Amino acid sequence: MRPSDKDDDFTSHRMSAERWSLLTTAIEKLGSARTLDKVIEILRGTARRIAGADGIAIVLPDNGQCHYLTEDAMSPLWAGLRFPQNSCISGMAMQQRETIIIPDVMVDPRVPHAAYEPTFVRSMAMVPIGSPDSVAAVGAYWSVTGDPDPNAIALLEALSRAATTALENARLLASLEDLNNALESRVAARTAELERTQEIARQAQKMEVIGKLTGNVAHDFNNLLTPIMGSLDLLLTRRTATDNVLRSANVAMDAAERAKLLVQRLLAFARRQPLVPKPVDIAQLAFGMKDLLISSLGARIALLLDIAPSLPSARADQHQLELALLNLVVNARDAMPEGGSVTISARSGRGHDQPTTLPLGDYICISVRDDGVGMDEVVLAQAVEPFFTTKGAEHGTGLGLSMVDGLAAQLGGALQIFSTAGTGTEILLWLPVAPQPVAVAGGPSADDENKGTILVIDDEPVVRSGTAEMISALGYDVVQAASAREGLDLIDDGLDPTVVVTDHVMPGMTGAELALRLRVERPRTAVMIISGYQGIDLIAPDVVRLSKPFRQVHLTASIAAARQQVAA
């Protein structure tokens, strides 16, 4: 062997070893490539040296075209340009999924000569990448004609196979990531949903606890207010009282009346206010309140009434419903310091638009809408909570909406609030449709023969003696008992009361139970229950009832009504 042959052999072995080493490094790098960009970067950085070429180009298919994405060449080729897929060699190689070798670009009929003429390229090899479909191609170009070195082609093809695997991995990884992201967002959505449900449950529990607490406090307060108002009433009717005493008693009575209103709102929120649910004609109620509402709104706010014709009656407590509407209208007024309009509308509501908390059925939906300042999300979330107010302690008790909400729930309906800051507020009050037509109420006739004995039963000594004093001021004889049992014993011992006035919630026998028993055993004895509790309507719906606290006039009317019942 000639020394020069030996030299050539040595050089080509060295080159081949270098290219193999380059290929191995590239394959290693491709093994950890996670994206198409990374794969292309590795190809661009190594393909030219591996192929021993004067230039390489990386081509991606793009909408029927071949996009010459990037290149590494001795002088510029076509980087950034696009050619129709079926008229360029890269397109053909990708379509046929096999390497195309062109020893002389200027004589090969497949080559678009015009594109090659200005370049150094005289021979080339185009290797597709991707399996089964080609997703890219790498072209190697030489400035001399002739068949490229088969080793170079083999190395280039090995590089292409490694890139194919890397691309497949990248694709799998991307879909795994997509899956992961989709799973993560589903988990996040579920968690949020769960948290929302838990928050609603927490809120409901909180309201229930506050409700119970408020209800108990309000109930005790009522018990205290009853003798206070009774005693004041007695003082006010005393002829011997001096002007000074009368003035003070009047001031005290005004405060007691305000306290009574506050307690009523608390009881309403706690869903424990005594209600007298009857069929209520909403049109009549709204038009009846019109003047009051207009004067409450003031001159700068217009009131619009839009009541659907022939609306069935709602099952509600007329008086409490009026208070609720007044509360909502006053809230609307406060939300429109610059003026605006309030629309009260009412319609039949059933089916899809009724709140999901309500059992399916027929409802009347009363809406109070304003175009005032509205509520942001924070205020909206707390608006119904008792004592939540944005009006300052001296202007708002924060019990208005709590009362309306409690009333709606107690009547078997619901309250909904829709509000956006800056746009206005709409409050919907859902009430069940009443089963019967509006009843014509007859006024209680006064009984001026206040003679006979009244048995007053209450376990609270202060309340009992207060009530007893008020009754005896009416002219009756009064006998007191601390429990239903004690009252019944007195009757068994020969007491013959004209009227039994009893508290409802007492240890042992309740007032309602006593009333039912007396009705059977002594049908001529009138019974009247004094109570701050709801629910008696259901236990003893036709027993005359007086809500705590009350004034002398209410007491007189109720005793008369109870006596009338047994006289009938």
User: 424-432 and 414-420 as β-strands: parallel, antiparallel, unpaired?
Assistant: antiparallel
Does 290 bind ligand ATP (CB under 6 A)? Our answer is: no
Sole binder of ligand ATP in the list 119, 151, 390, 480 (CB under 6 A): 390
Does 398 bind ligand ATP (CB under 6 A)? Our answer is: yes
What Cα–Cα distance (Å) separates residue 150 from each residue in 5, 122, 124, 194? Answer: 20, 17, 12, 65
CA-CA distance, 417 to 380, in Å (whole number)? 8
Sole binder of ligand ATP in the list 38, 70, 143, 388 (CB under 6 A): 388
Q: Which of the choices ligand ATP, Mg ion, none does residue 65 contact, using the CB cut-off of 5 to 8 A by kind? A: none
Does 375 bind ligand ATP (CB under 6 A)? Our answer is: yes
What is the nearest approach in angstroms of ligand ATP to the Cβ of residue 299? 19
Sole binder of ligand ATP in the list 54, 281, 322, 370 (CB under 6 A): 370
- Dihedrals phi, psi of 289, to nearest 5 degrees: -90, -5
DSSP secondary structure, 270-288, as one string: TT-S----EEE-HHHHHHH
Piece of the chain touching ligand ATP by CB under 6 A; list 143-151, 169-177, 382-390, 451-459: 382-390
CB 428 within 8 A of CB 415: yes
CA-CA distance, 310 to 296, in Å (whole number)? 28
Piece of the chain touching ligand ATP by CB under 6 A; list 357-365, 369-377, 489-497, 515-523: 369-377
Q: Which of 347, 420, 438, 328 has its CA nearest to residue 379?
A: 420
Q: Each residue of 379-392: b (16+ CB within 10 Å) or e?
A: ebebbbbbebbeee
Sole binder of ligand ATP in the list 81, 115, 379, 505 (CB under 6 A): 379
* Binding letters toward ligand ATP, positions 329-358, x by CB under 6 A: --xx--x-----------------------
Please tell me whether residue 523 adopts helix, strand or coil conformation.
coil
What is the nearest approach in angstroms of Mg ion to the Cβ of residue 383? 9
Does 391 bind ligand ATP (CB under 6 A)? Our answer is: yes
- Upper half-sphere CA count for residue 74 (Cβ side, 13 Å): 12
Of 218 and 488, the one with the shorter C-beta distance to ligand ATP is 218
* Binding letters toward ligand ATP, positions 87-126, x by CB under 6 A: ----------------------------------------
Q: Which of 213, 215, 210, 204 has its CA nearest to residue 534?
A: 215
Piece of the chain touching ligand ATP by CB under 6 A; list 34-42, 73-81, 365-373, 504-512: 365-373
From start to end of 242-337, where are the E strands?
278-280, 301-307, 314-316
One-letter amino acid identity for 334?
D
User: Please, which residues bridge with residue 381 across strands?
Assistant: none
Of 279 and 396, the one with the shorter C-beta distance to ligand ATP is 396
Of 258 and 451, the one with the shorter C-beta distance to ligand ATP is 258
- Dihedrals phi, psi of 448, to nearest 5 degrees: -100, 0
Does 303 bind ligand ATP (CB under 6 A)? Our answer is: no
Q: Which of 522, 512, 453, 454 has its CA nearest to residue 484?
A: 512
Residue 197: both structure tokens together: 């449900």
What is the nearest approach in angstroms of Mg ion to the Cβ of residue 387? 12
Does 367 bind ligand ATP (CB under 6 A)? Our answer is: no
Piece of the chain touching ligand ATP by CB under 6 A; list 381-389, 486-494, 503-511, 537-545: 381-389
Q: Binding residues for Mg ion, per CB under 5 A? A: 331, 400
Q: Which of the choices Mg ion, ligand ATP, none does residue 482 contact, using the CB cut-off of 5 to 8 A by kind? A: none
Helix (H) or strand (E) holding 369: strand 363-370
Please tell me whether residue 136 adopts helix, strand or coil conformation.
strand
From start to end of 192-247, where are the E strands?
none
CB 166 within 8 A of CB 30: yes
Sole binder of ligand ATP in the list 139, 148, 374, 532 (CB under 6 A): 374
Does 399 bind ligand ATP (CB under 6 A)? Our answer is: yes
Sole binder of ligand ATP in the list 148, 349, 400, 549 (CB under 6 A): 400
What is the nearest approach in angstroms of ligand ATP to the Cβ of residue 340? 11
Does 402 bind ligand ATP (CB under 6 A)? Our answer is: yes
One-letter amino acid identity for 259?
A
CA-CA distance, 36 to 433, in Å (whole number)? 67
Does 453 bind ligand ATP (CB under 6 A)? Our answer is: no
Residue nearest to ligand ATP (CB): 400
**What does the binding site for ligand ATP look like in residue numbers (CB under 6 A)?**
327, 331-332, 335, 370, 372-375, 379, 383, 388-391, 396-402, 425
